[in-house]
A and B are shown apart, each in its own frame.
Chain A
């Protein structure tokens, strides 16, 4: 039922446009505009050059042999390289395990793993800090018991470990998302497919490879795109768990933007980092848009 009435639809769209134009759309273009200025002076791409060449954003001299800081952009990339595959496959594994009929209490386990997604991220960040604190925290205590003294420390206080504490904590939080999405995806696969495959004598691995995995592909694309967005936009966790430190060792783009904006009061550099961050988020966003067509 498509009713081609432009005027009526304008009436329906108007309140949304009244809110979105000044508070979302105008600021986006204004930020791009600001990124080409320094104070009141138009400087072209000068800001981009300064920001991208600064060690705040990319500091490859230390990467990867020395400990971080490697620059906020590199930290985001490291985050993606570790966090994306781990959460996607861990979520899939848990979803597959909990789908089995013989697992008792699977819905309780599912709720527990999903809990990280329910709590405010700022609380998640505090919990990460607590987990990795020497004395009060579980993780250093485990490494101490294992005799690995190098990791029996307050992770968030050392440049070698701060970034990885945040990434590990983020795995704890985000795996619930991928598990939930895969559980829903698995539940939507018709049972007959499996029965047919079993009659044909397919092994469990063959069934997974030829039936389950291909049918989950659309879901996997969504999970990967959403996880990429999460990895790029990460802010609260880092703000409260490590503050980006020590010495920038766990700094990420979103936090660096806020740093330029609120601490250095350099609105133009802040705008440059914001544009950079948005440019990167366009990749998964386009992926999601294209999937609709």
Chain B
């Protein structure tokens, strides 16, 4: 095939710029990977020096079994918190979103605008009273307390997201079921929820990733070192006399691997969630 010269030049220029940008964005990750698989002495002067080049898994072992803040325990705690903190708000928000999408009731529009406002709310706005509330309920330093807070915080954006999703679904099947005498709740869980499955998956993936990645709420509500989640343990692995980049980067990789895998496996849902959550259909 004959490619005109100017087209070839355009191809080379555009592709090189794109890959150069990609490389710049990738370099920090390459650095992390290098630091995690090599001994401290080899990366302290720059991980881009390759002689000597020793590969070791010691950093991962040390981070996993750290004497003070083992990341293994943190990963376990993160999982114990992230799973219910995904399921609870998803079910609760789906119900509420259905009401916003299909029914009319007083103050509906004000309530919905308020929910959008809550999406923008900084978590800082609630933590002082929440801290005392959870303390009074004996839920401070307990996974249940953090799960409740995460669930409540996830609701606003999942309601917004699912309401947009429900609004796009065709309503004729629901109307037919209505004529056949099905109850509102039955229509919801027998017809609407299955149809909305892709939306539910997107919301679940983003909520799970955000809870897993949360640092601030855990920092405030889990103060007992055994309860610390993975993100909370990371900054504590610094090392006593110097920043031990080997252990820190190895632990970082273990913590970021979970959201990265979720992203890789569910990329389509992840992206449509990202776009649907922040825009309007």
Closest residue of B by beta carbon distance from A18: B92
What distance in Å separates the Cβ of B125 from its nearest Cβ neighbour in chain A?
5
Residue from B19, B46, B152 within 8 A of A19 (CB atoms): B152
A121 lies within 8 A of B129 (CB): no
B117 proximal to A (CB < 8 A)? yes
What distance in Å separates the Cβ of B248 from its nearest Cβ neighbour in chain A?
6
- Given A109-B19, A130-B32, A274-B127, output 4 extra A-B contacts at Cβ < 8 Å: A23-B133, A108-B22, A122-B235, A130-B31
Q: How far is the CA of A122 from the CA of B22 in the complex (A)?
A: 22
B180 proximal to A (CB < 8 A)? no
A147 proximal to B (CB < 8 A)? no
Q: How far is the CA of A124 from the CA of B255 in the complex (A)?
A: 11
Q: How far is the CA of A253 from the CA of B131 in the complex (A)?
A: 19
B99 proximal to A (CB < 8 A)? yes
A239 lies within 8 A of B235 (CB): yes
Q: How many residue pairs at the A-B interface have CB separations less than 8 Å?
A: 290
Binding site for B on A (CB under 8 A): 1-6, 8-13, 15-16, 19-20, 22-28, 30-31, 34, 94, 97-98, 100, 102-106, 108-109, 111-113, 115-123, 126-127, 129-131, 133, 135-138, 141, 172, 175, 177, 180-181, 184, 218-219, 222, 226, 229, 232-233, 235-236, 239-240, 253-254, 257-258, 261-262, 267, 270-271, 273-275, 277-278, 281-282, 284-285, 288-289, 291-292
B15-42 interface with A by 8 A CB criterion: 15, 17-19, 21-22, 25-29, 31-32, 35
B148 proximal to A (CB < 8 A)? yes
A97 lies within 8 A of B18 (CB): yes
| Pairs A–B under 8 Å by Cβ, sample size 30 | A5-B103, A6-B105, A13-B99, A15-B92, A16-B159, A19-B89, A23-B149, A23-B151, A23-B152, A26-B133, A31-B126, A34-B128, A97-B17, A102-B7, A102-B14, A103-B14, A118-B263, A122-B213, A122-B215, A123-B231, A126-B249, A130-B35, A135-B44, A184-B271, A235-B124, A258-B216, A261-B131, A273-B124, A285-B116, A292-B116
Q: How far is the CA of A116 from the CA of B102 in the complex (A)?
A: 37
B243 lies within 8 A of A133 (CB): yes
B201 proximal to A (CB < 8 A)? no
List residues of chain B with CB within 8 A of the CB of A281: 120-122
What distance in Å separates the Cβ of B2 from its nearest Cβ neighbour in chain A?
16
Residue from B28, B103, B256, B271 within 8 A of A12 (CB atoms): B103
List residues of chain B with CB within 8 A of the CB of A3: 102-104, 184
B259 lies within 8 A of A120 (CB): yes
Given A119-B259, A119-B260, A275-B125, A22 and B133 contact (CB-CB distance below 8 Å): yes
What distance in Å separates the Cβ of B156 from its nearest Cβ neighbour in chain A?
7
B245 proximal to A (CB < 8 A)? yes
What distance in Å separates the Cβ of B121 from its nearest Cβ neighbour in chain A?
6
B149-191 interface with A by 8 A CB criterion: 149, 151-153, 155-156, 159, 171, 174-175, 184-185, 188
List residues of chain A with CB within 8 A of the CB of B96: 12-13, 15-16
Binding site for A on B (CB under 8 A): 7, 10-11, 14-15, 17-19, 21-22, 25-29, 31-32, 35, 43-48, 88-89, 91-93, 95-96, 98-99, 102-106, 113, 116-131, 133, 148-149, 151-153, 155-156, 159, 171, 174-175, 184-185, 188, 209, 212-213, 215-216, 219-220, 231, 234-235, 243, 245, 248-249, 252, 255-256, 259-260, 263, 267, 270-271, 274-275, 278-280
List residues of chain B with CB within 8 A of the CB of A289: 113, 116-117
Q: How far is the CA of A105 from the CA of B117 in the complex (A)?
A: 39
Residue from B18, B26, B28 within 8 A of A98 (CB atoms): B18
Closest residue of B by beta carbon distance from A233: B122
Given A4-B103, A136-B245, A239-B215, A120 and B120 contact (CB-CB distance below 8 Å): no
List residues of chain B with CB within 8 A of the CB of A103: 11, 14-15, 18
A1 lies within 8 A of B159 (CB): no
B124 lies within 8 A of A9 (CB): no
A282 lies within 8 A of B252 (CB): no
Q: How far is the CA of A130 from the CA of B25 in the complex (A)?
A: 15
B31 lies within 8 A of A138 (CB): yes
What distance in Å separates the Cβ of B190 from its nearest Cβ neighbour in chain A?
15
B126 lies within 8 A of A28 (CB): yes
A113 lies within 8 A of B279 (CB): no
What distance in Å separates the Cβ of B256 from its nearest Cβ neighbour in chain A?
4
With most chain B CB atoms within 10 A of its CB, the pick from A3, A4, A5, A226 is A3
List residues of chain B with CB within 8 A of the CB of A285: 116-117, 119-120
List residues of chain B with CB within 8 A of the CB of A258: 124, 216, 219-220
Q: How far is the CA of A273 from the CA of B124 in the complex (A)?
A: 9
Q: How far is the CA of A273 from the CA of B128 in the complex (A)?
A: 11
Q: How far is the CA of A147 from the CA of B152 in the complex (A)?
A: 52
A184 lies within 8 A of B14 (CB): no
A97 lies within 8 A of B279 (CB): no
The 9 lowest CB-CB distance pairs between A and B, nearest first, are A285-B120, A120-B213, A23-B152, A27-B126, A30-B129, A12-B99, A16-B96, A109-B22, A27-B129
